[in-house]
Amino acid sequence: ILNVEQSPQSLHVQEGDSTNFTCSFPSSNFYALHWYRWETAKSPEALFVMTLNGDEKKKGRISATLNTKEGYSYLYIKGSQPEDSATYLCAFYSNFNKFYFGSGTKLNVKP
Amino acid sequence: ETGVTQTPRHLVMGMTNKKSLKCEQHLGHNAMYWYKQSAKKPLELMFVYSLEERVENNSVPSRFSPECPNSSHLFLHLHTLQPEDSALYLCASSLAGGAYEQYFGPGTRLTVT
């Protein structure tokens, strides 16, 4: 079993704050790193898939970076809004065709 | 609308029952997945089908039996389950390979009594 760790487990911020969280994964047998947003009572929704060391992806106010050599990815949210409240999941895909999800970071943005 | 549907949305079954979960996608994907979400645990991959062939089975007990008759449909057959099998079961689809984002269904909330 392979460990994918996300920190912090939960985060409470005020509307307008910028925030970031971390996904740590093994640096060996890396193939891809996925980020998903999971809102309560909805399905997980894909944010980014990154495959190359140094990759940076951006979608609106959300961006992500990837460091495969040291085994971590950061997710950034600029100017958080209440609608950003959700659990953010990362998933490590190894070159052995296996997906491993982290436990997620639960973000609560207060108006 | 994610394009991935699951039925039923809720299921209560006894330990001696046999039931099936159904997943359907109309996104043109050729890979489909079953995940299990237990309380306070990470999402756990159970089965992967790619091009209608099972490519991954993460040591799942035999009381869970997947079936993928074509690239648009995926089933999870359940029999003689245990109370600890109560969980949210999610289906997802994608293009084949781990470099493509997955699209998830709404899930089936299963309770085993």
Q: How confident is the model at residue B53 (pLDDT cuts 50, 70, 90)?
A: confident
Tens-digit pLDDT profile for residues B69-78: 999 999 999 9
Per-residue pLDDT reduced to its tens digit, A25-49: 998 889 999 999 999 989 999 999 9
CA dihedral sign of residues B95, B96, B98, B99: negative
Contacts of A102 in chain B (CB under 8 A): 42
Interior angle at CA B36, CA B5 and CA A57, nearest 5: 75
- Is B37 within 8 Å of chain A by CB? no
Contact A104 B101 (CB under 8 A): no
Exposure string over B31-65, b if 16+ CB within 10 A, otherwise e: bbbbbbbeeeebbbbbbbbbeeeeebeeebeeebe
- pLDDT for the residue A9: 95
DSSP 3-state assignment of B84? helix
- pLDDT, one tens digit per residue, over B76-106 is 999 999 999 999 999 999 998 888 999 999 9
Q: With a cut of 60, say whether residue B1 has pLDDT above it.
A: no
Question: B99 and A97 in contact by Cβ < 8 A?
Answer: no
Count of residues in chain A: 111
Evaluate if residue B64 carries a pLDDT over 80: yes
Of B43, B45, B99, which is closest to A32 when you measure between CB atoms? B99
* CB < 8 Å to A59, chain B: none
What is the per-residue pLDDT for A96? 76
- Best of B29, B59, B90, B101 to disrupt the A interface (most A CBs within 10 Å) is B101
Q: Report residue A95's pLDDT band, with 50, 70 and 90 as the boundaries.
A: confident
Residues of chain A neighbouring B95 (CB-CB closer than 8 A)? none
Residue range A45-82, pLDDT digits in tens: 999 999 999 999 999 999 999 999 999 999 999 999 99
Chain B residues whose beta carbon lies within 8 Å of the beta carbon of residue A93: 98-99
